[in-house]
């Protein structure tokens, strides 16, 4: 499953389902507690299952490894895993997932 996650994140690094400016606008809207006007509720994206795969197989730590996608064989530099995941799934879904699953336990913040 780790290799599958790696492959999907490579796809996310090279292919984005949302243009970067749309992601940036959504991020600013979330920070400002504004509802996105173009937010599509009830729609699914083709890679939504990745969240379940990460949860089911305990791959949370792999998303936080900055070197997960680095390789000497790549001609182009790949994005960090979390950025790749945002590009595949969207900021709303990944943001909620990170807050719920990828924060350190209380008292362990450095």
pLDDT digits over 38-86, tens only? 445 455 578 889 999 998 998 888 888 877 777 655 566 788 888 889 8
Residue with tokens 């182009």, as numbered in its chain: 76
Q: Rounded to whole angstroms, how far apart are CA atoms 38 and 23?
A: 12
The answer to whether the predicted template modeling score (pTM) of the entire model surpasses 0.75 is no
Q: Rounded to whole angstroms, how far apart are CA atoms 34 and 9?
A: 29
């Amino acid at each position: 499953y780790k290799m599958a996650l790696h492959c999907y994140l490579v796809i996310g690094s090279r292919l984005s389902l949302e243009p970067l400016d749309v992601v940036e606008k959504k991020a600013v809207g979330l920070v400002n507690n504004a509802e996105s006007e173009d937010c599509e509720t009830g729609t699914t994206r083709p890679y939504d299952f990745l969240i379940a795969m990460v949860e089911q197989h305990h791959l949370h730590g792999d998303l936080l490894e900055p070197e997960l996608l680095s390789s000497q064989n790549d001609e182009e530099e790949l994005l960090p895993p979390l950025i790749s995941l945002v590009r595949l799934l969207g900021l709303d879904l990944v943001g909620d997932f990170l807050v719920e699953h990828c924060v350190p336990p209380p008292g362990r913040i450095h």
